[in-house]
Amino acid sequence: MLFAPTLPMHAQTPAAPGPRPWMNTSLSPDQRAELVLKQLTLDEKIGLLHGNGMAHASQWQMPLTYLSNGGAGMTAGIPRLGIPNIYMSDASYGVRDSGANGRYSTALTSALGSASSWSAEAACQYGTLIGRELRAQGYNMTLGGGTNLTREPRNGRTFEYLGEDPLLAGTLVGNRIKCEQAQHVIGDIKHYALNDQETGRNIVDVKISHRAMQESDLLAFHIGIQIGNPAAVMCSYNRINSDYACENKYLLTDVLRKQWHFPGFVLSDWGGTHSTEKASAAGLDNEQPLADFFGPKLKEAVEANRVPASEIDDHARRILRSMFLSGVVDHPIEKSVVDIEGHLDIAQHIEEQSIVLLKNDNSILPLDGTKLHTIALIGAHADVGMISGGGSAQVDPPGGNVIAPEGHRGTHWQDHIWFPTSPLKALKAALPNAKIDFNSGTDPAAAAAFAKSADVAIVFAHQWTAEGMDLPSLSLPDNQDALIAAVAAANPRTIVVLETGTAVTMPWLPNVAGVVEAWYAGSRGHIALANVLTGAVNPSGKLAMTFPRSEQDLPHPTIPPLAKEDRGAGSGAVNDRARPASRYSVTYDEGAKVGYKWYESENKQPLFPFGYGLSYTAYAYSNLKTNSAARSVTFTVTNTGKRPGTEIAQVYATLPQQSGETFKRLAGFESVTLAPGESKTLTIPLNPDVLSIFDEQKEAFQLLPGTYKITAGPSSADTPLQGTLNLQ
């Protein structure tokens, strides 16, 4: 029977007068948590360990609850002691569900898009904005922080994550969480771990060695946790080497608690809890969104001595500690109106740093407003808006879905949602002297005729992705490849603007002059895009994931299909989650060779490599020196072109031979802004975690003594500088 979402009695008890020593802010979060814990009854402790329903009743086939403030989850606090309720909202690229709740949220560039900025500062602004908007809407916990590596680019949630490299993803998520939590919201990193595909996500058993997971997906989480100190980790739906993530002792206790000394709490993904005693012993602290296993059943298990009281104390202590750490006790939520204009500026600025210029033959870009007379804009509803990513990440556009008819603009689970960010309007404003017309692109022949005589044709192409589904392929949907091919055949001065959630294949690439990847571009995406297209902003983004030539080049050319009886297990609905009989599994035999590491080891040429992105200026790299004692690399970057620009310089390391590795690892990176002709010398420290290998016998990382080959340059496939580092 499902737990009925009504507030437990203890959570309705009013505040008691009297001294509250735990409110002494000079004590540590641990000390404060301990003082509260001593006051709690068993019911109050258990109350902290589960949810009380969510706003999305129909998807979850449970009664609607008003308790969650319109958000995804709610855990009751201890009002008599001044411990507030935890109100959780999804916030992947902005706060979810503002539309349904009659509120406003800013949509940022998708997480994957923002990862192309390679900017810790942008990640911090991203987190700060979300933290502020969460609190303004009455939430004190974020469910953002997606960090699963892009091991499977067809994964429908790729846009919610930060690409394929553990150092880049970990650095960015850590900085995001640090700044989110500074706004007094409980930060979260998810989905721990190896939830790298959506197909069968509730049943799939991921097979992978300890070494491979530690050096890939887990390393991203570890770096993120070290930098961001998140209060919470969300365990994922899938199984890993047989056990579900949310009852996986290796992941939750051996790694998270013992190896990493994580002091915060683990909450389950929604419906990702599968047991009481096993999950509790393995290290799950909080069940969401209900209390099927961590409510009455947990209490019964404690009373029957099947779960030790000390285990309950540990769970409750971790949650209380996290509340003190993030400041949600000392800073009660106050609903407010955010600085909308200020936040739109931030969203625009992050998108400007995230757009990646992939191709620019004969400098077709930037568009020159003094020379262009006619521009043919085609496809992807570019007259009215730009697309966004779906699922629990979905941010609602103000006014609703701009391509839906008036009166039907509400947003529903897995609708394709378009923001009212019109590239046509933005380009008209940026190029007032050009005649810019629009064609829908639904008829490729008509679009080609429309484009033929224009000075430039710009084809917009979209790829919608969302939670709960994977893409059947990396091809653009809806006949858009044919549209682009037809327009490019009619007009060689064709530029393609991509609005995608992951990589796409580009059969038309040799025939177009320019390609710009704009991702899911957020609330001011159109203006950021117009600024890049017209050169007001010099693009500097670099891909956080490889774009393959074809699915055949992926480690797994197809995602293993689900058996008939297992279909539906990807949706996440409560009654899909327990299929213990299912044998559906994926074996990640590529191991730690995720993304560029795979292509290098297999000697496969990608379409666009990891770390790649062009600029309207050019850079030269020179004079590499290594410092083995300091484990750092020094080199010079020069802007050899005519425009100021920002270059993301990358350093890779190939480990000594005894590592057995046939690929290089990103070991450091830095952005440098340079005026034309200017040079700067960078000293980049190399991250020791990234240089180490995981020893499965010792269950520990180890830095191998020996010679490390160091390379540096503008992308993983272009590293003109070389040196060595000798580590003892």
Q: Using CB under 6 A as the criterion, which residues of the chain lie in contact with ligand BGC when the complex forms?
A: 72, 90, 143, 190, 269-270, 392, 572
Closer residue to ligand BGC (CB): 216 or 392:
392
Please state the closest distance from residue 391 (CB atom) to ligand BGC, in A: 7
- 270 vs 419, which CB is nearer to ligand BGC? 270
**Three-state helix/strand/coil letters over 437-455:** EEECCCCHHHHHHHHHCCC
Q: Where are the alpha helices (DSSP H) in 107-184?
A: 111-115, 120-136, 166-181
The least CB distance from residue 575 to ligand BGC, in Å, is 14
Nearer to ligand BGC, 190 or 593 (CB): 190
- Which two structure tokens, joined as six digits, stand for 522? 């957020």
Q: Report the residue number, 184 or 190, with the smaller CB distance to ligand BGC.
A: 190
605 vs 165: CA distance, rounded Å: 18
Asked if 720 and 624 touch (Cβ cutoff 8 Å), the reply is no
Q: Is 558 exposed, middle or buried (0-12, 13-18, 19+ CB in 10 A)?
A: exposed
Identify the bridge partners of residue 633 per DSSP, sorted by sequence position: 626, 684
State which residue, 292 or 590, has the beta carbon closest to ligand BGC.
Answer: 292
> What are the tokens at 443?
């008829």
Q: 356 and 437 in contact (C-beta within 8 Å)? A: no
Min dist. Cβ of residue 289 to ligand BGC (A):
7
Min separation Cβ 669 and ligand BGC, Å:
28
Using the minimum distance from each CB to ligand BGC, give the nearer residue, 170 or 572: 572
Closer residue to ligand BGC (CB): 280 or 288: 288
535 exposure class (CB count in 10 Å sphere: 0-12, 13-18, 19+): middle
- Closest alpha carbon to 354 in 156, 618, 648: 648
Which CB, 68 or 687, lies closer to ligand BGC? 68
The residue among 592, 594, 570 whose CA lies nearest residue 582 is 570
Closest CB 572 distance from ligand BGC, rounded Å: 4
If we measure between CA atoms, which residue out of 417, 419, 471, 520 comes closest to residue 111? 520
Q: How far is the CB of 336 from ligand BGC (least distance, A)?
A: 24
Shortest Å, Cβ 87 to ligand BGC: 13
Measure the CA angle with vertex 229, ends 523 and 388; round to 5°: 20
- How many other β-carbons are positioned within 10 Å of the β-carbon of residue 421? 27
Distance of closest approach, residue 644 Cβ to ligand BGC, in angstroms: 39
CB nearer to ligand BGC: pick between 97 and 600: 97
Q: How far is the CB of 178 from ligand BGC (least distance, A)?
A: 20
Q: Would you say 287 and 51 are in contact if contact means Cβ atoms under 8 Å apart?
A: yes
**What would you measure as the largest C-alpha separation in the chain, in angstroms?**
81
**How far is Cα of residue 539 from the mean position of the Cα atoms in its chain?**
21
Q: For residue 80, give the 3-state DSSP assignment.
A: helix
Length of the chain: 728
At closest approach, how far in Å is the CB of 70 from ligand BGC? 12
Q: Enumerate residues 6+ apart whose C-beta is below 8 A from 592.
A: 211, 212, 215, 216
Q: Least CB distance from residue 392 to ligand BGC, whole Å?
A: 4
- The least CB distance from residue 273 to ligand BGC, in Å, is 12
- When the beta carbons of 175 and 195 are compared against ligand BGC, the nearer one is 195
CA–CA dist 701, 495 (Å, integer): 47
Q: Write the secondary structure of 480-494 as one string of H (helix), E (strand) and C (coil).
A: HHHHHHHHHHHCCCE
- In the bound state with ligand BGC, the residue whose beta carbon lies nearer, of 235 and 372, is 235
Q: In the complex with ligand BGC, which residue's Cβ is closer, 72 or 466? A: 72
What separation in angstroms does the CA of 243 have from each of 203, 278, 585?
Answer: 10, 10, 12
Q: How many CB atoms lie within 10 A of CB 242?
A: 10
